[in-house]
Copies of this chain bind each other. A is one copy, B any other.
């Protein structure tokens, strides 16, 4: 891949040192466990399904090596894959688990760390071809006024180009009316929200923990994550969040979970729902078409690992202008010793872009980077 045009990775995670320290101080999910064996990598246990008490902590979760917290590793990954800019974000579960009293200061510290690391990188002549920006994190367990103040403060951090958020919001989901004040702040500051799953589905949805365990992380990761995102956004839509906040902008992880595929079914179910029958002249339920919301309020990443999904994402987004390349780094690494070569996970996402738009180089470049530059206002 040439670097004659920007290739921007908008889905790429980091665990800054302050966040590693925080997780290492904990013994319940999410936490980092340092095995006693010499030279063993610490283990990161972030999902409830990772924390299988039938196995030793030293084999729970996944190894968390330096790729999670090292900017040098991030730049090495970028160089290997021809990525010219990464918009880094704290990985799940962000700060969702913090006590209200400590959330604001933790968010400020991490956001400042991200801002400073990006600023230092971008002003260094050594890394001239590799730019870094960030999505900030919000202290969602803190009082609303603190959340709003951090949203406003982030506008002064010139390398922070939006915020990453999970699906629980203040604890009751993204359709919680208590979020209206937060959504107002996000919309009025034109802050893009990168919505990312973490909690998945209840084990019983898959047939219970024993069924899940037979295929490792596949069911929670391949299905639980995207279904969580789909449910969260659908709840927002059905509750009229996008009616009340027509300028709210969300970037959905993993190409929207399954929203592009199911949008037609959602639209049909709404149109056929007796609870929403016109009542005294006022139609109940969402006032806008799901397609209108997809075309006006939603961006999708291109982390979908195949042409069928990416075609649906582009089609549902209404335009190639609303879909953006991402990698999910440092997750989905090669399992073998080929860590210095190109990653299958990245190459399959790139191949899907090439395969969907074989004759439209301009569109491919928009997805690979042009859209992120325009939407996030990146200076490359």
Contact = CB atoms under 8 A, between A and B. Distances in A.
B207 A204 contact: no
Contacts of A172: 207
A214 B261 CA distance: 23
A305 B264 contact: yes
A276 interface: yes
Interface string A265-289: 1111111111111000000010000
B261 A238 contact: no
Interface in A238-279: 238-239, 254-255, 258, 260-277
Contacts of A273: 215-218
Contact of A205 (B202, B255, B260): B202
Interface residues of A, number: 68
Nearest to A172: B207
Chain A at the B interface: mostly helix, strand, loop or mixed?
helix
Nearest to A355: B315
Contacts of A141: none
Most buried by B among A206, A207, A258: A258
A76 interface: no
Nearest to A307: B315
A76 B62 CA distance: 59
A112 interface: no
Q: How many identical subunits does the complex contain?
A: 2
A300 B300 CA distance: 25
Contacts of A255: 261
A211 B231 CA distance: 11
Contact of A218 (B269, B277, B313): B269
A235 to B, nearest CB: 7
A285 B216 CA distance: 10
B352 A306 contact: no
Contact of A234 (B219, B254, B274, B345): B219
Contacts of A222: 234, 262, 265-266, 268-270
Contacts of A206: 231, 235
A262 B258 contact: yes
